[in-house]
Amino acid sequence: MAGIKDVAQRAGVSAATVSRALSGNGKVSPATRARVQQAAEELGYVVSFNASSLASGRSRNIGVVVPTVSRWFFSTVLEGIAGELISAGYDLTLYDTGGQEQHRVSVFSDLLLRKRLDAVITVTLKLSDNEVRQLASVDKPVVAIGGFIPEIATIRVDDFNTTALLTEHLIELGHTRIAFLGGSEEFDVDFKLTTARQDGFEYALDQANLEVRPEWLLAANFTTEGAYRKIRSLLSMPRERPTAVVCASDEMAFGALLAARDFGIDVPGDFSVVGMDGHDLSELFGLTTFSQDARSQGIWAVRKILELLGERELERDPTDGFYPTEFIARSTTAPPPRP
């Protein structure tokens, strides 16, 4: 495999000049540059990343930490990140913690510190104070998507207010018996968004002088299956049923819709459902929801990182305030049935 010396020899210049011509750092005459490029092409020369990184201290490699890639939000954010990174000529090192504490520890103590990464993007990862300190001490740019992390630039939507608005939408339709389906305890390690959404829900009820009924505060694991099971058992209870449910994600809302269908309960006639995300399938399900553009959150995270690395200017700072969201009323919400 051709090395920089081979190219230098073929082009009749020094290795230093080859490096400068190919990287764009430093001045090289156009004629020389052309000769070098030609020689490199002929030899099929590709720079050794390891050698280049070692010598320069920069890796052109960004770490991305996600709790899982099998949920809509994460895979969509990841696609946005991946596309933007490829365009910028950066590598993407993926850390899927699988929600396992053990894997998170190794990610932080080892991988992130191995100097192979120029920067890190974390997605809805809740960090301990200690981890924040570790990240800070490494002195590499970090951008977080989803969960707020002190001292770190964060892209996030307004979980509290969007959920409150969704809840108010139901209240305005006349609902007074409203359930909430959030994430489970177990997942709160990584997905800290649950509490903000639940807070927004409770706030809206409170504003309307409606009581929060503990037995209607449900938790699943952000999956459609989990939600299906929870809503199924909610609907099968003999006692008084809620007439609507606020789900903390669209994927859980799908589970709620399927459960209602299997129970022969008419949506929205007998039961209203709202979600949160703007999942690709929300339109097919006719789901009323708040949409957030996950893909572009990923893209903007990369842009912010590149800015922090001094690669480019930012037209606007995505970590400034809340990321835009949009309320979309569709056909899973209606006034509650007459008693």
Partner DNA sequence: CTGAAAGCGCTTACAG
Based on CB atoms, which residue is closest to DNA, 14 or 128? 14
Residues of this chain that interact with DNA (CB under 7 A) are 3-5, 12-20, 22-23, 25-29, 31-33, 45, 47-48, 51-52, 54-58
Residue where the block lists tokens 């750092």: 25
Position 197, amino acid: R
Residues of this chain that interact with its own copies (CB under 8 A) are 1, 46-51, 53-54, 59, 61, 64, 68-70, 72, 75-76, 78-79, 82-83, 86, 91-96, 98, 103, 106-107, 109-111, 113-116, 138, 223-225, 228, 255, 258, 280-281, 283-285
Cα–Cα distance for residue pair 314/227, rounded to 1 Å: 40
31 binds, among its own copies, DNA, none (CB under 5 to 8 A by kind): DNA
24 binds, among its own copies, DNA, none (CB under 5 to 8 A by kind): none
17 binds, among its own copies, DNA, none (CB under 5 to 8 A by kind): DNA
Sign, CA dihedral 168-169-175-177, equals: negative
Based on CB atoms, which residue is closest to its own copies, 13 or 66? 66
Phi-psi region of 273 (alpha: psi -120 to 50; beta: other; left: phi over 0): beta
Helix, coil or strand: residue 277? strand
Taking the complex as a whole, the smallest distance from the CB of residue 40 to DNA amounts, in Å, to: 10
Based on CB atoms, which residue is closest to DNA, 56 or 233? 56
238 C-beta neighbours (distance < 10 Å), count = 5
Cα–Cα distance for residue pair 81/151, rounded to 1 Å: 22
307 binds, among its own copies, DNA, none (CB under 5 to 8 A by kind): none
Residue where the block lists tokens 């504003």: 207
Asked if 6 contacts 45 with a C-beta cutoff of 8 angstroms, the reply is yes
Based on CB atoms, which residue is closest to its own copies, 54 or 237? 54
133 binds, among DNA, its own copies, none (CB under 5 to 8 A by kind): none
Helix, coil or strand: residue 52? helix
110 binds, among its own copies, DNA, none (CB under 5 to 8 A by kind): its own copies
Based on CB atoms, which residue is closest to its own copies, 124 or 224? 224
Based on CB atoms, which residue is closest to its own copies, 104 or 175? 104
| Cis peptide bond upstream of 324, omega within 30 | no
Asked if 65 contacts 97 with a C-beta cutoff of 8 angstroms, the reply is yes
